[in-house]
Structure 1
Amino acid sequence: MAREGGHLGHKRRYRLSTQTGLNLRMKRPRRHISAAHRAAQPGAAQQGEVWAMDVIAAQLYDGRRSRALTVVDVFTRECLAILVDQRLTGADVVGTVRQISELRGSPDRIGVDNGSEFISKVLDLWAHQCGVTLDCSRPGTPTDHPSTLSFHGRFRDECLNIHWFLSLDDAAEKIETWRGDYNHLRPHSSLEHLAPSAYRARSASTLRPQGPPT
């Protein structure tokens, strides 16, 4: 209308837009608002400070699907646990991190995505009681936790894609064997070509307080 020399007032424009349904607003879901403005988190400065958790899909020989929960120490790249089951819940996650914490202590922060296992009330309660911050990635942005992506790439290439899992028990046994080799035998260029367990031991020795001079 304006191109033809006419004038369209703002009230009439609003009325026509409302009648034709052009006044719809694209609203961002509320749960995404805080994630969209998520501040970059600092990296891990020492072992045990930051963990990363995620779930990766696996498959048995007969086509049945299974899932594996992985927990990794971000600083040492050490895989702290892998839980394999047909389905995983928040209670399974809490049971796993509680077992690790009894041996290693609780971390300051755990990087997770927005999966149903990680946004459960039971995990949130455990984190609150232990003073652990759950660092949720932005939806659709897995690069917020690159250590998880790196580990899952190796896990799939070196274990899931080359083994034939006959059952959940067989999968758990073979995956646990691979986890031991990964932690104790596999060197990493990012760890000065040391295996994660060796790098952890060396880091612990540098943090050990020195005794009084003799």
Structure 2
Amino acid sequence: MAGCKRHTPQQIIRKLCQGDELAASGADIEQIARQLDVSVPTLYNWRKQYGGMKADDAKEFKELKNENALLKKLLAEAELEKATLKEIARGKFLSPTARRNAVTMLQETMGLSQRFACKIVGQPRSTQRKELAKNTPDDPDADLRKWLRDWAKANQRKGFRRAWADLRAPGWVINKKKVQRLWREEGLRVKIRKRAGASTTPITEANALKVVWAIDSQFDSTTDRRKFKIASMVDEHTRHWVFNVVERSIPAEDLVAALEKAFALWGGPPQIPRCDNGPEFISESLRAFCADQVGIGYVPPGQPWKNGYIESFNNRVRDECLNMDDFHSVLEARVVIEGWKEDYYNRHRHSPLVYRTPNEYAAICIHTH
């Protein structure tokens, strides 16, 4: 009877050859099965699978079978890798931190092993397993990270360049790129809202103090949903806030009164006030007031980028002041905006001014038109 052992293909083919010799000598199927020590059904199955094959053919068949299994495994891994790449999105991971996060995500969402996930992402396993310095008690940048978090909390709409400038002001020597890296690692990045449109050369270049004063207005509302208007004027060279008027409405007469005060406070008018074609700016009252003192430079309709300094300034007022507070009255809005103005004068550092504040730059400015 058949034993419990498993036969190799070579053994099966040899027994089938013995069976053929016994059949040629006149033995029936049961005698052949008994002689080969197998059952009759097993003998039939062997003939069906290996009939007509030689021992070398069996060896080659086994090799093909192993290769087929290997190809199936490789195909499965390729399909898994393909699905994994779709999961982590297309593109290159240029930093070890990005690759580290991708490996962790694949392990958690797809249940991959760390070895396979690192292979797909291109991350060395030693790098993946190394603990980040910021997660260890011996982090050399712990104090700097805390300073950046506190600074970002107090200046929610300012970026790493302003933080770097404030770090250097008291004498802290530090690389700007390091501040940028730590800023990103702490998740403190601020999205910059960019306007569409290409910059063009202004009609007059503000190459000194009191050459070009840019003026524009914007709206906001109090908590009772009533609107109020803010008219601001800025010296384009020093970034000084010449004046701001906050009222429910600003007719041309009020604008003229504000300009008259500004001219007296600054020792005379600028060479050119630059504005758009708003109704208060094209009024006869403003034209008559400026006629004997200064010409008005109007930007073409639909081209606000030609008055880019005041547009940028208004965006900063909106982003850092108006959007950060709820105003219950115009008086409250006026007080809050005036407080932000003082902070802007003394703390906001401009990159065109070599990261100086408007007050610091005005104190050393010697430019003349």
Q: TM-score range by the shorter chain?
A: 0.7 to 0.9
Q: Which residue of 1 aligns with 2:40?
A: none
The SS at the match of 2:311 is helix
- 1:40, distance to aligned residue in structure 2 (A): 4.8
> TM-score normalized by structure 1?
0.75
**Which position in structure 1 is the counterpart of 2:305?**
143
Match of 1:88 among 236, 246, 250: 250
* Structure of higher CA gyration radius: 2
Q: Secondary structure at the match of 2:216?
A: strand
Which residue number corresponds to residue 29 of structure 2?
A: none
State the number of aligned residues: 167
Structure 1 residue runs of 4+, over 3 Å off? none
User: RMSD of the TM alignment (CA)?
Assistant: 1.4
Q: How does 1:44-193 map to 2 (within 5 A)?
A: 44-104=206-266, 105-130=268-293, 132-193=294-355
Structure 1 CA distance for aligned equivalents of residues 281 and 247 of structure 2: 16
Tell me the SS of whatever aligns to 2:209.
Answer: coil
Structure 1, unmatched stretches of 5+, are: 1-38, 209-214
Amino acid at match of 1:50: V
Q: Which has the higher contact order (CA 8 A, sep 6+)?
A: 1
The structural deviation recorded for 1:107 is: 0.4
- 1:153 deviates by 1.1
Residue aligned with 2:336, SS: helix
Q: Secondary structure of the residue that 1:133 maps to in structure 2?
A: coil
Q: Residue 208 of structure 2 contacts residue 367 of structure 2 at CA under 8 Å; is this kept in 1?
A: no
CA–CA distance in 1 between the matches of 2:243 and 2:334?
11
Letter aligned with residue 276 of structure 2: D
* 1:88-117 deviation per Cα after TM superposition (whole angstroms, max 9, x unaligned): 111111111111110112001011000001
Pairwise CA distance, 1:207: 5.5
What is the letter of the counterpart of residue 49 of structure 1?
Answer: V
Measure the CA separation in 2 of the matches of 1:140 and 1:98: 28
- Matches of 2:202 and 2:308, distance apart in 1: 13
User: Shift in Å at residue 42 of structure 1?
Assistant: 2.2
Once the two structures are TM-superposed, the CA of residue 166 in structure 1 deviates from its matched residue by 1.0
Q: Give the TM-score taking structure 2 as reference length.
A: 0.44
Equivalent position SS for 1:110: strand
Higher helix share: 2
How far apart in 2 are the matches of 1:126 and 1:183? 29
